[in-house]
Amino acid sequence: MKKEEKRNAEALAKFKANLNHPCYKSMDELQAVLQELHPSPSTLPKYSDAMKCEIVCGQLRYREACLGRVLRRGCLHSSHKGGSTSKLVLLLESFAEVVKDEEETPALLNPPDVRKTYQAAVFATPLRLELDQTRTKKTVELTKQFNDEYPDGLFTAHRCTVDYSRGNALNPDALKGERIGKMFHPFGQTEGEMLEFLGTIVSYKPKKKWWHVVFDDGEEEDYNFRQLYALSTPPDFSLLQPVPPPVETASFLNCTDGKPSGALAAPSDLNALEDFRLEDTEYTFISVFFLTTTEPFVGAYIEDEDFYHNLRLLSYDELKETAGVHITPMPQLHKWIEDSKSMAVGRAEESSSSTSRRKRKL
Q: Is residue 279 within a helix (H) or strand (E), and if so which, with residue range?
A: none
Q: How far apart are the C-alpha atoms of 236 and 140, rounded to whole Å?
A: 45
Q: Which CATH number fits the domain 171-239, given the four candidates 2.30.30, 1.10.510, 2.40.50, 2.20.28?
A: 2.30.30
| Gap between the Cα atoms of 303 and 132, Å rounded | 66
The dihedrals phi and psi of 63, each to the nearest 5 degrees, come to -70, -30
Smallest Cα–Cα separation from 301: which of 321, 337, 276, 269? 276
User: What is the pLDDT, as a whole number, of residue 19?
Assistant: 66
Average of per-residue pLDDT across 194-213? 90
The runs of H, that is alpha helices, within the chain are 2-18, 27-34, 49-65, 84-104, 126-149, 225-229, 245-255, 316-320, 330-361
Pairwise CA distance, residues 144 & 149, whole Å? 9
- Tell me, what's the pLDDT at 213? 94
User: What's the gap between Cα 350 and its chain centre?
Assistant: 61
Residue span(s) of the chain under CATH 2.30.30 come to 171-239
Write out pLDDT tens, residues 298-312.
888 888 888 877 787
Name the residue with higher pLDDT: 359 or 351: 351
Mean pLDDT of 53-75: 84
Measured over the CA atoms of residue 254, residue 255, residue 261 and residue 266, the dihedral's sign is positive
Instruction: Provide the greatest CA pair distance for the chain.
Output: 128
- What was the pLDDT predicted at 261? 46
More confident residue, 86 or 123: 86
| Top mean-pLDDT range of 56-70, 109-123, 149-163 | 56-70
pLDDT, residue 177, reads 93
Interatomic CA distance for residues 150 and 145, integer angstroms = 9
CA–CA gap between residue 281 and residue 275 (Å, rounded): 11
Q: What's the pLDDT tens digit per position in 123-166?
A: 556 776 777 777 778 888 888 888 788 777 666 666 666 777 77
Q: What pLDDT sits at residue 133?
A: 74
Residue 117 banded pLDDT, cuts 50, 70, 90: very low
DSSP output for 83-145:
-HHHHHHHHHHHHHHHHHHHHHS--SSPPPPP-S-----TT--HHHHHHHHHHHHHHHHHHHH
pLDDT on residue 107: 67
pLDDT at res. 151: 73
Alpha carbon distance 265, 79 (integer Å) = 54
Task: Please report, to the nearest 10 degrees, the dihedral formed by the alpha carbons of residues 135, 140, 145, 151 taken in order.
Answer: 140
* pLDDT value of position 299: 86
Instruction: Check residue 199 and give its pLDDT.
Output: 94
Question: Residue 200 has what DSSP assignment?
Answer: E
Amino acid at residue number 160: C
Whole-number Å distance between alpha carbons of 298 and 272: 15
Distance CA 221, CA 230 (A): 14
Distances from the Cα of 329 to the Cα of 88, 289, 297, 301, angstroms:
65, 9, 6, 11
59 DSSP 8-state letter: H
Read off the pLDDT of residues 8-23 as tens digits, 9 standing for 90 and up.
677 777 777 766 677 8
